[in-house]
Structure 1
Amino acid sequence: MFIQPHYPGYLFSAPRSFAALMEVYEDNYIALRRLCPRLPEAGVMHVSHPAGIPRLYLRVLEHTRYTSSLGLTYRFLGEDDGEVESPSLAVRVYHDARQAEVLFAPQGPAHTLSRHAYGLDDSASGALRMRWSANRFLNRWLHYCIAQGHAFTLAPDALADTLADDRD
């Protein structure tokens, strides 16, 4: 006979709740650190380009003791021979909390992260849904990039030692 274990409700986060969003932030941090174990210096563009896979671009926009802001994107040739960045996300990394969240997402009509597509308003529940959608997208994209073989491995002399920053 199978006995169903009783788990207190506080051990599991309700889907799309604030607590579940914090778990996604933590998983984003872990995946981002797998993709880029050490962050490069601010302002330098780095490219990951496994054979036969679109190039992934990473730029550290800002780096402080406790946070870093990153730009992460693919670049494709557009119709007028210009480059199109898609998806293109800005991500804030909280080194002390070991979390990473999307700072903003494209808001145009062609993007899946559009506020209009979700019928969102400026209420707390609308903001939570938008953050949930954007960060869940980042989470899946990071895991996809890792599975495709992307990695930002940098020479030791070009690294910002964020592991030391984490311990301070």
Structure 2
Amino acid sequence: MRRKPYVPDLQELASLCEANYLRFLKLLPDTEAGSERLIGISTPSGQQAHIRIQVNETHPYTSMLTVTQEGLNPEWIQPPRMEVRLYHDASMAEVLCYQNQHKFEGRYQYPNPQMRMPDEKVQLNRFLADWLEHCLHHGHTQTPFHFTPSYP
């Protein structure tokens, strides 16, 4: 019995990318090149980790970010790291690179030489959504906040 081929759901991917864009706006209100936000998270066992969101470059319609997890992995395991492009005109955020693997197609035949799942692109953007949601609900900022009141 043959399995039905995977057909990408573009509406699902678009709504996922739009929701991720809104999550980034909540976590990173300043999108100037060179800015970053460090978010602390705790595991149920009490271990501390950080999610670092760095703004690498900004342009009128796009920004390029790097999202990295620090602190939980043993030295011999590469920590999760992804590069994300924000499309300001479309209000979307898309994963472009994960663990130094670039250019994810919308659909893959399976099996394939890279052993990517047929819906690899959707899964990466879902992982980003889960990561950002966890930061929003359980994280606390590690980046100092400087407030200077303005007097009339």
Instruction: Give the shorter-chain TM-score range.
Output: 0.5 to 0.7
Indicate whether 1:63 and 2:58 are aligned: yes
C-alpha contact 1:35 1:150 (8 A) present in aligned 2: no
Report how far residue 44 of structure 1 moved: 4.1
User: Quick one: distance in 1 between partners of 2:11 and 2:49?
Assistant: 34
Name the residue aligned to 1:103.
96
C-alpha contact 1:58 1:73 (8 A) present in aligned 2: yes
User: Quick one: distance in 2 between partners of 1:96 and 1:68?
Assistant: 11
- TM-score, normalization by structure 2: 0.67
Relative to structure 1, is the Cα distance of residues 49 and 62 closer, same or farther in structure 2, using a 3 angstrom cutoff?
same
Report how far residue 75 of structure 1 moved: 1.4
SS in 1 for 2:80: strand
Structure that is richer in helix per residue: 1
Name the residue aligned to 2:82.
89
- Structure number with higher relative contact order (C-alpha < 8 Å, ≥ 6 residues apart): 1
SS in 1 for 2:30: coil
C-alpha contact 2:28 2:37 (8 A) present in aligned 1: no
User: Quick one: distance in 1 between partners of 2:83 and 2:39?
Assistant: 17
Indicate whether 1:37 and 2:29 are aligned: yes
User: Quick one: distance in 2 between partners of 1:153 and 1:119?
Assistant: 47
1:2-81 equivalences in 2 (<5 Å): 17-39=9-31, 41-49=32-40, 53-76=48-71, 78-79=74-75
Report how far residue 105 of structure 1 moved: 1.3
Percent same amino acid among aligned pairs? Answer: 31
Name the residue aligned to 1:160.
none
User: Quick one: distance in 1 between partners of 2:111 and 2:130?
Assistant: 23
- TM-score, normalization by structure 1: 0.61
